[in-house]
């Protein structure tokens, strides 16, 4: 078994254990393998071990990797854009990715909708929420989230699936849990409305390698794990 395959099994074990502690079905939490800065070979190793959903932060890198990895997997690999989406990169996201987790402005959503090819399924969208209010962080304010969700839900070729949150790092479980619980409350409030266009509002994307247990306890349905699967990253010099 490769290191990546072994790491993947360990992460799945952590998810199962966290679900048991929270009284949840492990099938209610999906794993997104964050493959940024790792090459196509690492993705192929994870895919060979059964992983099908991959997250990319850097759009151009992700597009190149999608092409390098190719198709032929059953079920097909699923590609999630989980990094910032600049205006000049919306077409790449619309044409190559299956999901976009970081929509926090209507303008971005409008460009994605206009540029999504008709022959592809709707782009699955999560609205990124800045739950802890950091002034330099991306994400719509919690108070403005419902308005944005409603506006995006009206756009063609997009499907609003839920919320995404990246809270500030917290060193202990209880603090992590409190941060994630705020996102869960907001998610539940919107989901309970049952409004047109929100029939598929079922995804709460939160939790990473360091805090997935707290995220699952709070109610995450999708955890984004990179280091725990692929190992430490080496970033190119600026």
Tens-digit pLDDT string for the chain (238 aa): 679 999 999 999 999 999 999 999 999 999 999 999 999 999 999 999 999 999 999 999 999 999 999 988 999 999 999 999 999 999 999 999 999 999 999 999 999 999 999 999 999 999 999 998 766 678 999 999 999 999 999 999 999 999 999 988 888 999 999 999 999 999 999 999 999 999 999 999 999 999 999 999 999 999 999 999 999 876 655 5
Say which residue the tokens 């493959």 belong to: 35
From CA 107, how far away is CA 122, in angstroms rounded? Answer: 17
Domain boundaries, the chain: 3-230
From CA 41, how far away is CA 179, in angstroms rounded? Answer: 35
Looking at domain 3-230, which of 3.30.1600.10, 3.20.20.10, 3.30.70.100, 3.40.50.300 is its CATH number? 3.20.20.10
3-state helix, strand, coil in the chain (%, to 5): 45, 15, 40
């Amino acid at each position: 078994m490769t290191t990546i395959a072994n790491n993947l099994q360990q992460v799945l074990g952590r998810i199962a254990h966290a679900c048991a502690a929270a009284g949840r079905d492990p099938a209610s939490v999906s794993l997104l393998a964050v493959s940024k800065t790792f090459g196509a070979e690492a993705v192929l190793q994870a895919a060979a071990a059964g992983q099908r959903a991959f997250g990319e932060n850097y759009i151009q890198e992700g597009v190149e990797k999608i092409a390098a990895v190719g198709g032929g997997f059953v079920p097909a690999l699923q590609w999630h854009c989980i990094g910032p989406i600049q205006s000049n990169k919306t077409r790449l996201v619309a044409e190559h990715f299956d999901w976009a987790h970081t929509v926090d402005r209507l303008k971005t959503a409008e460009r994605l909708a206009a540029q999504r090819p008709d022959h592809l399924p709707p782009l699955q969208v999560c609205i990124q929420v800045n739950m802890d209010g950091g002034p330099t962080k991306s994400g719509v304010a919690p108070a403005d989230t419902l308005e944005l969700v409603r506006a995006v839900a009206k756009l063609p070729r997009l499907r609003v699936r839920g919320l995404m949150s990246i809270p500030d790092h917290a060193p202990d479980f209880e603090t992590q849990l409190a941060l994630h619980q705020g996102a869960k409350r907001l998610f539940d409030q919107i989901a309970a409305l049952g409004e047109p266009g929100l029939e598929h509002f079922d995804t709460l994307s939160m939790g990473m390698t360091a805090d997935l247990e707290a995220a699952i306890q709070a109610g995450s349905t999708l955890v984004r794990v990179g280091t725990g699967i692929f190992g430490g990253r080496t970033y190119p010099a600026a």
